[in-house]
Amino acid sequence: MSKPVLWITRKLSANTEARAARDYDVILNPEDRTFSADEIVAMSQKVDAILPCHSECFDATTTARLSDRVKIIANHSVGVDHCDLAVLKARGIVVTNTPDVLSDATAEIAMLLLLGAARRAAEGDMLVRSGNWTSWSPSFMVGTQVTGKRIGIIGMGRVGQVMAKRCRGFGMEVYYHNRSRLPEGLEQGAIYHESLDTLLPVSDFLSLHCPATPESTGLMNAARLSQLPKGAILVNSARGALVVEDDLLAAIESGHLAAAGLDCFVTEPGGNPKFASHYNIFMLPHIGSATRETRDAMGFRALDNLDAFFAGREPRDRLV
């Protein structure tokens, strides 16, 4: 019996690719190049399944052109804002993602962003590397202390809960907003806010952990940023679309926000060049889940979903 033909659109971990090659007739991408919509459509005529990353867009137009041969898209990501789920469902294409396995790694990056923004890490690194660290005084490089401060978390799912745990380790008071309140056992003392209008004014730090949806796009705009306390710090390790970047820049330049820590941007790759001259914006190139352990776990989770589907079982992480 022939194996299903699987296209892995990007270069994944060696362990993932080895397992895929064992169980599937796999098409790899050793050059790690990106593909246009036309190339995705052309490849769909040759494969039974696609294992894509966030870099491949399955919008309504592309999805409508996919070959009927494609039966499942097993995403190598938690977020699926690159997929038009309604159109994929109408086409009868199963869609899965990889939850759970990247929560720790992403929360680590969120904490790095929080600390880096609070303690002026980008500015300090630049001073030392450039050879411009020539003096010291008690007023030198004074930043924002994290211990004992209030952290507001928007989106108390898997990553948000791990982030809350990390913040409690720093003695922070945890507040959160979610679509629904967590059971008391999962709250671990975090204080629920039904509305952003009550969460934002008490958030010395605000960390975003919600998905990008039509409802959450542009969530942090000028009006909402203005509700944060003066001197607050924004952290975004979720999706760039959650933040109106020009409004964030205005809040930084006015001094209303002390700093920001960003791992994701509206334009990726590339980021926002307007942020580059502001050393109180601590930036990383969307590497929240980029650890060896997590990349293996994500690849294996995607393959687990594919294995279940082709064995006639319900994939664990089926979305549509």
- Does residue 72 contact residue 97 with C-beta atoms inside 8 Å? no
Kindly state which CATH superfamily the domain 5-101+292-310 is placed in.
NAD(P)-binding Rossmann-like Domain (3.40.50.720)
Q: Do domains 5-101+292-310 and 103-283 have the same CATH topology?
A: yes
Task: List the domain boundaries for the chain.
Answer: 5-101+292-310, 103-283
Alpha carbons 44 and 235: distance in angstroms, whole number = 38
- Residues 139-164 have pLDDT tens digits of 999 999 999 999 999 999 999 999 99
pLDDT of residue 67: 98
Alpha carbons 44 and 68: distance in angstroms, whole number = 8
Beta carbons within 8 Å of 137's beta carbon, 6+ residues apart: none
pLDDT of residue 264: 98
Alpha carbons 98 and 80: distance in angstroms, whole number = 10
Task: Please list the pLDDT of the chain residue by residue as tens digits (320 residues).
Answer: 799 999 999 999 999 999 999 999 999 999 999 999 999 999 999 999 999 999 999 999 999 999 999 999 999 999 999 999 999 999 999 999 999 999 999 999 999 999 999 999 999 999 999 999 999 999 999 999 999 999 999 999 999 999 999 999 999 999 999 999 999 999 999 999 999 999 999 999 999 999 999 999 999 999 999 999 999 999 999 999 999 999 999 999 999 999 999 999 999 999 999 999 999 999 999 999 999 999 999 999 999 999 999 999 999 999 99
pLDDT of residue 149: 98
Residues in the chain: 320
pLDDT of residue 11: 98
Beta carbons within 8 Å of 183's beta carbon, 6+ residues apart: none
Question: Which amino acid type is present at position 61?
Answer: T
Active centre residues (catalytic)? 239, 268, 286
- Angle made by CA atoms 187, 193, 198, in degrees to the nearest 5: 150
CATH topology of domain 103-283: Rossmann fold (3.40.50)
Report which secondary-structure segment, H or E, holds 153.
Answer: strand 150-154
pLDDT of residue 206: 99
